[in-house]
Structures are given as C-alpha cells and as structure tokens.
Amino acid sequence: MSAIDDLPPLRQVIADHSLSARKSLGQNFLLDLNLTAKIARQAGDLSGTDVLEIGPGPGGLTRGLLSEGARKVLAIEKDTRCLPALEEIAARYPGQLQIIEGDALDVDPLAHLTPPIRVAANLPYNVGTELLVRWLTPPIWPPFWQSLTLMFQREVAERIVAAPGSKAYGRLAVLAQWRCDARIAMSLPPEAFTPPPKVSSAVVHLSALPAPKFEADPDVLSRVVAMAFNQRRKMLRAALKGLGADIEDRLQAAGIKPTERAEQVPIEAFCALARAVAAR
C-alpha cells in the first residue's frame, strides 16, 4: 500500500499504463508519494481551497494535493496516455478531481475553479516560465491565485528569488518579487525524478500580496525591466534609450544613476522609474 492513500504505488501505475517518459513533454516523474505529499504541504493549508495543477502525469502530486485536503483539484494534462491513471484517482476522490486533457497554455482555469485558489505543479520545463510570467502579469491584482508552489530547474528557481546585485537577478526576479513574497521551499536532486534530469530542481513558493510593495503601472514596469535586462551589460542610459530622449532625466528622477547597470537596481527603484516614465 502507498504512503498516502490506498491506490497502487506509482511504479505500478506507470507499468500498468505503459507510461514511459517522453522528453518532448518534459516528463520527469516524481514516484515517491512521501515526497509528493511533502511538496503538497508546501502549498499551505489546502482545506476549503481549489488547486490548479498543470501536468499531473501519473498523478503523484495530484494524490498528495488530495490527501492533504484540497477541496478540488483541476488537473490539466497534455499526454492522453496519463488519463486512465488519473481517472483511477478521480474515482478514489469522487467529485474532487477534474481532469482536462489539453495544453495548459490554451485552457482558462477560471472557468472551472472557485476561489480561494492555489496553484501547485511539477511544471513541464518547456512551458514553465511562460506560465509563470502569465500568472505574474494578470490584468488585475490581486490575481486569481493566492499562492504558486512550483517545481523548476534550480537555475530558474534562483532567478525568481534573486536579490539585486546577484548574477541571477533579472526580469523574473522583479516580476515575481514586486507583488509577491517568493522563496525556495525545497531543493531536489536529479535522482528524485524518473528519469533523472541533468540538473537539480527546486520548489519555489510565491504568495500574492494584496497590493504591490511599490506603486507602478504593470505594463510600464514590464517594458522598462525587459529593456533594461535585455542589454544587462550596458549602462542604463544606453540600454533604455528606446524609452525616449529624456531617459537620463527620468533615471535621475527615479534616483538611479544613468551609468548604473540593471543588475544593480533594486525593485523599488525600477518601480520609481516606471512611475517617472509613465508621468511624462
């Protein structure tokens, strides 16, 4: 019997449904149910909460989320081979697991979920960053989700939580930390996965703040930060010259030296710059 429910162990599920991992779908499965329950616990108190899971695969994390008390899990999976295994979990938790076959980039999860909502996933690496950026840049804030608990390659996780002045600091750090608390909650070696990926992984936990830490127009901030880090080795007055001839004045109005590089600029100063640019 497995550690968290009376369904078969995941190695048996994989064998029963011939779920050999496909690289093209970013399939590195977690087969230790103690570990998937531990990841589910990083998502916080799930009672009375709907959870969006992208890429449930054979369902290890899905089982963790349900056994940890999620009110409902909406699981979006692109690989049709996984659906029978997921249906077995749905039968064990009647009315609590909704499975959608499809590409997570094309599905509107809000049509199926009721707040409060948390997101938890061992993301496929090929769409992970794109989904994160979408979740971090919704049309309105606070977003539809209370928290994101997401597995990434360690290097991506470090970019999300990076501090100014560090090599990993960039657009992802600003977009993530501007209006969320972000931290690395767990580190996982390659051997935790089947098959093992080439690099280590980490679970990042982001909780949405009710309001941004510093005021800024989200579109202007996104544009400024994308431009600044696109040419991160250049001085800001050169990297940002596309924002207008008066960019030096705007930088100075925001308290940023025009000769500084993006890597040195704290999030608060980027927000001040976005305000200075928008006020023009």
Q: Which is nearer to ligand SAM, 195 or 244 (CB)?
A: 195
104 lines the binding site for ligand SAM (CB under 6 A): yes
Total number of residues that touch ligand SAM (CB under 6 A):
23
Minimum CB separation from ligand SAM for residue 172, in Å? Answer: 19
218 lines the binding site for ligand SAM (CB under 6 A): no
In this structure, how many other beta carbons lie within 10 angstroms of the beta carbon of residue 101? Answer: 14
Residue 268 exposure: Cα atoms within 13 Å on the Cβ side? 2
| Residue number of the CB atom closest to ligand SAM | 55
Minimum CB separation from ligand SAM for residue 108, in Å? Answer: 13
Q: Which positions ≥6 away from 202 have C-beta within 8 Å? A: 151, 152, 153, 154, 157, 158, 184, 185, 186, 187, 188
CA-to-CA separations, 40 to 70, 82, 95, 135, 161, in angstroms, rounded: 9, 20, 19, 19, 20
Query: In terms of Cα–Cα distance, which of 57, 52, 54 is closest to 111?
Result: 52
Q: Which is nearer to ligand SAM, 106 or 140 (CB)?
A: 106
Give the angle 156-161-166 at the CA atoms, nearest 5°: 90
3-class SS at 148? strand
Q: Which of residues 33-92 bind ligand SAM (CB under 6 A)?
A: 54-57, 60-61, 76-79, 82
Minimum CB separation from ligand SAM for residue 178, in Å? Answer: 26
Minimum CB separation from ligand SAM for residue 123, in Å? Answer: 7
Binding span for ligand SAM by CB under 6 A among 19-27, 89-97, 156-164, 245-253 = 19-27
Q: Where are the alpha helices (DSSP H) in 167-258?
A: 171-177, 218-230, 236-239, 247-253
DSSP 193: E
Q: Which is nearer to ligand SAM, 81 or 237 (CB)?
A: 81
Q: Which is nearer to ligand SAM, 191 or 245 (CB)?
A: 191
Alpha-carbon distance of 73 to 119, in angstroms, equals: 9
127 lines the binding site for ligand SAM (CB under 6 A): yes
Binding site for ligand SAM (CB under 6 A): 25-30, 54-57, 60-61, 76-79, 82, 103-105, 122, 124, 127
